[in-house]
Amino acid sequence: MISFNQVCKRYPNGFNALRNIGFTLEAGEMALITGHSGAGKSTLLRLIAAIERPTSGSIVVNGQNISALKSGAIPFLRRNLGLVFQDQKILFDRTVFDNVLLPLQISGFDSRAATGRVRAALDKVGLLDREKTRPITLSGGEQQRLCIARAIVNRPSILIADEPTSNLDADYARDIMAMFKSFHQVGVTVLIATHDVNLLGDMPLRIFTLNHGELTV
Ligand SMILES: Nc1ncnc2c1ncn2[C@@H]1O[C@H](COP(=O)(O)OP(=O)(O)OP(=O)(O)O)[C@@H](O)[C@H]1O
């Protein structure tokens, strides 16, 4: 569950990126955040992951008020979050398998359990047969799937993605959206920022629209 109540975000340079944001996404729901470039989509997602902090208002994630979370508690929050953000770089000097293994190594998983989880995650995104290859040999769509595998390998209850289909052609983009839908269908809460509403197809999803930092729905 993700709940925003009267959330404002002003960046240190004085820019008000988000104003009075309020919504609740129940556990297991899937929603899109749309809006023009600069509307505040990424800022909203970064607040959920505590990459940025709200200037005022409260944000509750899985029952925990994260608005004033101590920095030491952030890794525990993120353990329940799968993040697909543009600035999370693929490590091109490691195999596909090792890229997905990394979050589990950081969490201290023993290697046998970790291997099973990495293979399960790669299987879910259709990359199991590529586990030994280097990411440079993957197409753009496959690299995005690798990022998704890395985000879900910890089996998070919430999956958050920022423009996961940017730079992909329509077929790849639909494929990626279908993948998110399949996670939603097994109970994961999914929130995706995209400026491309055409991706929706006939998916019956909640849509939050941001306009200059304000929700318009
Ligand atoms: N660290 C920052 N300091 C100051 N202003 C920022 C910072 N990060 C973002 N902004 C500004 O806040 C506004 C919202 O940015 P944000 O990245 O959240 O928008 P967005 O809807 O995700 O845009 P896009 O679709 O182009 O990625 C923009 O005007 C941006 O310039």
CATH number of this structure's domain 1-80+158-217, picked from the four choices 3.40.50.300, 1.20.1290.10, 3.20.20.70, 3.40.1280.10 = 3.40.50.300
Per-residue pLDDT of 205-214, as tens digits, reads: 899 999 999 9
Looking at ligand 1, which residue's alpha carbon is closest to its atom 3?
11
Cβ–Cβ under 8 Å, residues 151 and 159: yes
CA of 38 to the centre of ligand 1 (A): 5
What is the 3-state secondary structure of 23-73? EEECCCCEEEEEECCCCCHHHHHHHHCCCCCCCEEEEEECCEECCCCCHHH
Distance 15 CA to ligand 1 centre (A): 9
Going from N- to C-terminal start, the domains of the chain cover: 1-80+158-217, 89-155
What ligand 1 atom has the least distance to the C-alpha of 45? 18
ipTM over 0.95: yes
Q: What is the pLDDT of residue 164?
A: 92
**C-alpha torsion sign, points 119, 113, 181, 163:** negative
Residue-wise pLDDT for 132-168, tens only, equals 999 999 998 899 999 999 999 999 999 999 999 887 8
Determine which residue's CA is closest to atom 18 belonging to ligand 1.
Answer: 40
Q: Is the pTM of this model over 0.80?
A: yes
Residue ranges lining ligand 1, Cβ < 6 Å: 11, 13, 15, 17, 35, 37-43, 195
